[in-house]
Structure 1
């Protein structure tokens, strides 16, 4: 009765809730891939992944052409077995973004179904380490915003109880970045956290120069300073600065995370459940980081990562970027800068099926 009888895949396009840009790109739209897994006994779970403007139809094609048929008849309870089978069946394209995003949507659906069958929320089923975690805000720190807007947004976040803000860096001159960060620091005071994110835009030498300028500002972390595949560069940079180096949103394999953590290249792990292939590998990454005494502050996916970060003892922060407001109906409680994971069974996202139908493109 727990065998998979049907799998449905959908693609919906969501407009960003605010204009989003960084040193490398603009957030054009959110292509959201939804997968619903149904079992013989009438239960179902829904998972999702995303892209920020390109590749959504390729993810759907990977699901349709290579993954869905292999799920039919499998026991939905055997989540690890199914994940390993998907890896084996996609060796030619693993590790890669499209494959990871497709596998993630399936894996999240299976965990959602697993939680519903156990009548437990995923955050508790996967460990239950925290019943809430602090938020930091990214929505007020995009690179196109003026210095005055950055300050105003940071003060608003502080007034709401949020513990910190992320400011995008990568302006043409170090001076301009430094002035923007100094203005925010002067406004919020020394105890409020400021994170900076370069979105992979710097060379090794320039990243070291900028990191040095951040040290006096008490920056919480320097995120994606270099191209994500430059392990050696991250090792050198981490050794050269007192600012913690944060990486992970652009890594697509649990083994790659292990290399970074073991080499001392990551002081903060920002594993993204969609990009690493789902909840199953996300938990492997989080526990690997735990064994090296490295905290986890996952990238994006606030509505899912609230549950996952609360599941593990080294969960540090949840990133405040609302993602699913157009196709869901709440489920999370945010109080004075803290987010609580949903108590409803599964991943706890209450999908708005009518809205999904209206926004579906494939």
Structure 2
């Protein structure tokens, strides 16, 4: 008999974590504070749903205030009844008339929505006593699309198309399920934080390779481009020609700068160049892609499905870095992932959650949607704060087995 689980109350927590010795630094965030706006759903049992949105400092409190408002949409709801038509509830939250003027579908409101939505999926998986990846991969196409809001996607991806896409992947699903045993490949972002010295970057590259990583990322975007080129060469020489390298500019270049610097970085054979210019400027990315034949990875700062839709239609996006703790949570992530599959653009998420949630979502993407199992970003700095931290062995994410989405945090002072 199915357990009846009612959401009695939703509340937020403002959790912030200081980083040390240059960790987490990029061309914008020189001294970052990693922060989670946490949504906790209390129920008529001991089970709680935990959802995260990621921010970088004082703005976290504002997101928490928005969470405390949005949870009214789901308080009093039974979790199975809620998730059976979650797409409709999602739309009501995203279009709440008291908040829509502040967006729509971006900024503080969208981050708060992510935390609430993620908490719902976490609670759903926990009551079913499954890890989130298992819950999602076991759902029928109809049950899955019922959790999605196709508003403004009707012209590019209909509900029936999404169901057909999911159904079409079942024939080859068995071979993709092997990823559960082998582990999902990771790449190391922490080798090349912006404030690390050249010597530290070199040491980190060597340590990452010893840990089994064959893919790693360097932060670029310096005011002096020569620094970026020099450090990129250091990483390439240390890692070798066979290593997979990515360069992340964190939106620091104008289009003319991006064209010039990307031409130089191209000689180092990057797997991608990430966020080369302003994240909302679709046309600038199109012009860059036309000017320089180098793969572009985009999406860390793209806030919603509409801008992803525009990027995917434009043809300039080589890799889709949609992040479930920045867009409107797991529901919107899945919708964007489905469109990305239709447009033949692989999804390689940014991990504002430190990979805790996305280790589930990339398994779903590979098994159910048919995305290639390429890479998942690994950032280790907050692993000690999680109840069930990600496990990396020989550069691969081991498959999580605990019920939920691995978002439960330990008590933090």
**The two structures share one fold, judged by TM-score above 0.5:** yes
Please, which of 9, 15, 18 is the counterpart of residue 12 of structure 1?
15
**CA shift in 2, pair 1:325/1:83, >3 Å:** same
Measured after TM superposition, the shift of residue 122 of structure 1 is 0.8
1:227-284 superposed Cα distances (whole Å, 9 cap, x missing partner): 0111000011122222210110111111211110111121111111111011110111
- Is 1:73 aligned to residue 76 of structure 2? yes
Measured after TM superposition, the shift of residue 141 of structure 1 is 0.4
Counterparts of 1:104 and 1:196, CA distance in 2:
27
Q: Is the 8 A contact 1:27 1:53 kept in 2?
A: no
The 5 Å alignment of 1:95-106 reads: 95-106=105-116
2:100 corresponds in structure 1 to: 91
Measured after TM superposition, the shift of residue 331 of structure 1 is 4.2
Q: Is the 8 A contact 1:303 1:324 kept in 2?
A: no
Counterparts of 2:407 and 2:205, CA distance in 1:
28
- Is 1:197 aligned to residue 248 of structure 2? yes
Which consecutive residues of structure 2, in runs of 5 or more, have no partner in the other structure? 139-175
Report the TM-score, using the length of structure 2 for normalisation: 0.81
**CA shift in 2, pair 1:57/1:347, >3 Å:** same
2:64 corresponds in structure 1 to: 60
**CA shift in 2, pair 1:27/1:82, >3 Å:** farther
Report the TM-score, using the length of structure 1 for normalisation: 0.92
The 5 Å alignment of 1:1-362 reads: 1-16=4-19, 19=22, 20-40=24-44, 43-64=47-68, 66-77=69-80, 78=83, 79-89=86-96, 90-93=99-102, 94-127=104-137, 130-131=179-180, 132-300=183-351, 301=353, 302-313=355-366, 314=371, 315-352=373-410, 355-356=411-412, 359=413
SS of equivalent to 1:82: helix
Q: Which moves more between the two structures, 252-261 or 81-90?
A: 81-90
1:105-157 superposed Cα distances (whole Å, 9 cap, x missing partner): 11111111111122221112223864231111111201222222212211211
SS of equivalent to 1:276: coil
Q: Which moves more between the two structures, 190-199 or 149-158?
A: 149-158
Measured after TM superposition, the shift of residue 350 of structure 1 is 4.6
Counterparts of 1:148 and 1:332, CA distance in 2:
28
Counterparts of 2:231 and 2:389, CA distance in 1:
35
Q: What CA RMSD, in Å, does the superposition of the two structures yield over aligned residues? A: 1.8
Q: Is the 8 A contact 1:306 1:318 kept in 2?
A: yes
Measured after TM superposition, the shift of residue 159 of structure 1 is 1.5
Counterparts of 1:103 and 1:324, CA distance in 2:
23
Counterparts of 1:349 and 1:125, CA distance in 2:
15
Counterparts of 1:337 and 1:25, CA distance in 2:
27
Counterparts of 1:183 and 1:332, CA distance in 2:
29
1:283-311 superposed Cα distances (whole Å, 9 cap, x missing partner): 11112111111111111221111111121
- Paired residues in the alignment total 354
